[in-house]
Chain A
Amino acid sequence: MAAEPWRGAARTILLAVSVAGLFPPVAALFEASMRSHLLVQMPLLAFCGGYWVYRSPPLKRWLERVDPSGYIALVVGSGWFIYWMLPISLDLATFDPGIRLLKIVTVPVCVGAALTWSWLRLGPIGRGVMLLEGWAILGRLGWVYLISPVQLCSNYLIDDQQRTGSLLLGAALISAVGIALWAVFGPFRKPHRTEQE
């Protein structure tokens, strides 16, 4: 551990950026547009939680005891994922300090960490379902934001909303193409092959 001080530094920086989102100047920066709120801050927060699961053996041991299959984490993670995709949650997080705190705590823990844990525990079929459902959510939401003739967030203008919609669709498309390419051409291995051979 001591041989890799950059890991400690990375953890500190991630934590600092997440917590800084609570304070008005940084919050205003992240929440200024729907794009940066939904497509920069949220993924960053979720990444923090995922990183935490990867790098913390005590957390892994605890999760192993509580949720060995990863199913509970999947349910919790998907629920909170949907919660933070709702226009109302996005709106409230920009002007209600309580909801903003909820965002800073639950996006890393209940979305990032939970989904990362279930990803680690699920087999190839479970992971496939997770990916498909993730793309479906991004696609549906992106489409709604793109074509809705009304402003869905009281705090974000309609052109911001439409641009966010296109970016969500773009993100779903690019990740789908990327993973499809990886699945076809990448070092794709059947699980347990080494045991069978």
Chain B
Amino acid sequence: MSPRTAIGLVLAGGLVTALLWQRTAGFSAFTYETWRRVEVAREPVAVSDWRLQDAQGDFVRLSDWRDETLLVGFIYTSCPSVCVAIGSRYQQLQRTLQANPSTDVHLLSISIDPARDTPEHLAEYRRRHAGLQSSWTVARPADAQVLGDMIRETGLRVIPDQLGGFSHSESLHWIRDGQLLRISDWRDPELEKMITDGG
């Protein structure tokens, strides 16, 4: 092997490794969902002041929870699988919130199917999971524009499945003062600890 080939090989190998390193955030993220988590953890993302309609039919904005950390999960109420599991998880987290009244975390479930998820459906979803209005808001985006903003700003992926529903990101989003600070897995056993630490 000529020295030129050897140098070429080293360069090519280095470049290819750097490329894969960059794409996978240091060989830690091989799927889009994990990559999104790593990216947000590295640098928080600004989100706009989403206008939402809650289960009582009232219009609210993210800035209404100014001094609180929001734990935002995206759901749709006719979802047969993961949204039920996320609902149960929120039910557990709500117990943690009740046990630690000084914590400033608020649970927020936002529907990605605003056309079908009327306030009545949203209220029914929360009832199904024994949700309390004081610590858990279930809402839908006020209009299609807000839904688009939410998806664009958080990098959420929502695709229709073959059953008339959606396949969507299952992650939970920590938002405070218009900043998306962290994205967690809903199965993460550390969530309780993060809540008692104030997000």
Residues of chain A at the chain B interface (Cβ within 8 Å): 66-69, 71-72, 75-76, 78-80, 82-83, 86-89, 91-92, 95, 151-157, 159
Whether B24 lies near A88 (C-beta < 8 A) is yes
Known: A76-B12, A88-B30. A157 touches B20 (CB 8 A): no
Chain B residues touching A, majority SS: helix
Q: Which residue of A lies closest to B5 (CB)?
A: A69
Whether A76 lies near B16 (C-beta < 8 A) is yes
The answer for the CA separation of A151 and B19 in the assembled complex, in Å, is 24
Q: Which residue of A lies closest to B8 (CB)?
A: A72
Known: A79-B16, A82-B20. A91 touches B31 (CB 8 A): yes
Chain A residues touching B, majority SS: helix
Q: Specify which of A75, A87, A153 lies most central, judged by the most chain B CB atoms within 10 Å of its CB.
A: A75
Residues of chain B at the chain A interface (Cβ within 8 Å): 1, 5, 8-9, 12-13, 15-17, 19-20, 23-24, 29-35, 157, 159, 161-162, 167, 169
B contact residues around A69 at 8 Å (CB)? 1, 5
Whether A157 lies near B16 (C-beta < 8 A) is no
The answer for the CA separation of A185 and B50 in the assembled complex, in Å, is 68
Q: Which residue of B lies closest to A70 (CB)?
A: B5
Whether A154 lies near B16 (C-beta < 8 A) is no
B contact residues around A86 at 8 Å (CB)? 23-24, 30
Q: What are the nearest 6 A-B pairs in CB distance?
A: A79-B16, A154-B157, A91-B32, A75-B12, A72-B8, A154-B32
The answer for the CA separation of A69 and B2 in the assembled complex, in Å, is 9
A82 CB to nearest chain B CB (Å): 7
Whether A72 lies near B32 (C-beta < 8 A) is no
Q: Which of A83, A87, A151 contacts B167 (CB 8 A)?
A: A151
A contact residues around B16 at 8 Å (CB)? 75-76, 78-80
B contact residues around A72 at 8 Å (CB)? 5, 8-9, 12
Whether B167 lies near A79 (C-beta < 8 A) is no
